[in-house]
Structure 1
Amino acid sequence: MYILGMESSCDETSAAVLRVEEGKLVIASNIVASQVETHRLYGGVVPEIASRAHIEAVSGITREALDAAGITPKDLSAVMPA
């Protein structure tokens, strides 16, 4: 069984694939897109820039997480948003 977990903070977007092995969760992949360098230019997080960056990053990091785990969306049993 595979589970896709997704999370975002004010300046990071992440996706991870967890695999259930012998009743335990094992991290199969974990991809993080950080906006730290972008916001450093402004002296802090700019909400409008952050929200747009999340939208731009989420599809790519999800694909990367699935690829790194060696699975396709059809292999997922659940998706757990944060």
Structure 2
Amino acid sequence: MRVLAIESSCDESAAAILDETGGLLAHELYSQVEVHRAYGGVVRSWPPA
């Protein structure tokens, strides 16, 4: 059996495929850290909803 693991947050999304022993077969990461760096981190909407 293989496991597809997915993680998502406000500035990153990641996916990984693990084999039956928990070994990593593949992984991918999409990050917006560089985009947010100019603002000192994640900036929430203003005014708050």
Moved over 4 A (4+): none
Decide which structure has greater helix share. Answer: 1
The sequence identity of aligned pairs, in percent, is 49
> Higher relative contact order at CA 8 Å, sep ≥6: structure 1 or structure 2?
1
Show structure 1 runs of 5+ residues with no match. Answer: 49-82
CA separation in 2, counterparts of 1:9 and 1:44? Answer: 13
Output the aligned Cα RMSD: 1.6
Structure with max Cα Rg: 2
- How many residue pairs align between the two structures? 45
Q: When the two structures are superposed, what TM-score results if normalisation uses the length of structure 1?
A: 0.48
